[in-house]
Structure 1
Amino acid sequence: MKLKPTLFFCTAISLGLALTGCQTMQSPSKITSQQQTAQQFKITGKIGVRTPQQNGSAFYGWTQVGDQFAIDLTGALGIGQTSIRGQVGDVTLTSSKTGTIQAETPEELLFKATGWQAPITYLISWINAEPASKNAEVKKDTAGRIENIQEGGWSATLSYSDQQKLPNKLVLIDDAQQNRVTLTIQTRN
């Protein structure tokens, strides 16, 4: 099934994606198995995406346990409820407007549907204020928290509330500065 980019755009933002046209992105192949299995969070909030072609926002709920995740998206430009489920080797997107699409990785799922690439795998680590690979360039604030991560052709700026150790907002910008994702975390369990 071939999807219209606008339709898939709405579903993709639930993953915290910035749509990057046909830009090449480095693969997060240097992520260790310990980093992959250690990731665990349950967050809700709002995500906004701005590209040269379109803008959009949605509310999301994202549960991550090791390499398995479940993301639910609502309110994205009238697309309705969208679910994205995945684990290593099997990622599925389901909505009443798109049906079901499957791929081996979130990046592949996005590419299959639109031809776009984005730092989905990196975002899982960035939500926990960690770099995703050994190749990341990291800057810390005066409290010792990571405030910026340069990795895979993207810059992630992390903002914190008061003395919190985990970010409540992430702003992702690609190196070409044409695509921007703002992920606001309203609740974290």
Structure 2
Amino acid sequence: MRIFSKFSLILMATSTLVLTGCQRYTQPQAPSVSKTPAAANNFSLQGKIGVKTPGQSGSAFFTWVQQQDEFDIELSGILGVGKTQISGTPGQVTLNSAKTGLIQAATPEELLQRATGWQAPITHLVDWVQAKPATTQAKISKDGQNRPIQFVEDGWTVDLSYNDQAQLPNKLILKQTFESGQENRITMVIQNR
């Protein structure tokens, strides 16, 4: 059960799969407020997430509802076993499961640190699942259809893959590689949007 609470936090942090083909690197422009649609961060996702770190591995099913800066994520094992609920509003994020009880923090990154002991740019995942870079410093690789297939930012490599002509990814693999050659890897498969 403790693994599920760690996966919950990790879910907010990463994902992606490397694609081959025509690639080019571009430096993103900072988004203009007038170009950002009001509904940009409103979505609902369902799927499966797998986490592999040097010390553990496992998977869980997820349901993620994002409404601007507020979110609710539910993680569970097979047949709903081991449910973990993560909710967030600006300035407060909570994780609640039968195994860990209630854990609170000011940011998703702080919550991940408290629950697992490691850090990841979790808030970036909101952009990554929408095929957008999270920062203006991101290095972006695109396919022949001009869709992002890789972001490199904040120490993470995020590979995105798509179903056919879809403009939003159905799979993300997030990798953080250490000097030792070991890595943290999060694989997120989006089954429903």
TM-score range, shorter chain: 0.7 to 0.9
Instruction: Write out aligned runs for 1:32-181 (5 A).
Output: 38-75=40-77, 80-176=82-178, 178-181=183-186
Deviation at 1:15, TM superposition (A): 2.9
For residue 21 of structure 2, what is the aligned residue in structure 1?
Answer: none
Given that 1:94 and 1:101 are in contact with CA atoms closer than 8 Å, whether structure 2 keeps it comes out as: yes
Deviation at 1:87, TM superposition (A): 1.5
For residue 23 of structure 1, what is the aligned residue in structure 2?
Answer: none
Given that 1:16 and 1:183 are in contact with CA atoms closer than 8 Å, whether structure 2 keeps it comes out as: no
CA-based RMSD? 2.6
Report the secondary structure of 2:126's partner residue. helix
In 2, the alpha carbon distance for the partners of 1:156 and 1:82 equals 25
Larger mean Cα displacement after TM superposition, 46-55 or 113-122: 113-122
Report the secondary structure of 2:183's partner residue. coil
In 1, the alpha carbon distance for the partners of 2:89 and 2:129 equals 18
Given that 1:156 and 1:170 are in contact with CA atoms closer than 8 Å, whether structure 2 keeps it comes out as: yes
For residue 191 of structure 2, what is the aligned residue in structure 1?
Answer: 186
Given that 1:14 and 1:73 are in contact with CA atoms closer than 8 Å, whether structure 2 keeps it comes out as: no
Given that 1:7 and 1:79 are in contact with CA atoms closer than 8 Å, whether structure 2 keeps it comes out as: no
Which structure has more RCO (C-alpha within 8 Å, separation ≥ 6)? 2
Q: Which TM-score applies when normalising by structure 2?
A: 0.80
In 2, the alpha carbon distance for the partners of 1:70 and 1:167 equals 20
Q: Which TM-score applies when normalising by structure 1?
A: 0.82
In structure 2, stretches of 5+ residues that fail to align are: 16-29
What percent identity do the matched residue pairs reach? Answer: 49
Equivalenced residues, count: 172
Report Cα offsets for 1:99-132 as digits up to 9, x if no partner: 1111110000111223211121111100000000
Deviation at 1:17, TM superposition (A): 5.1
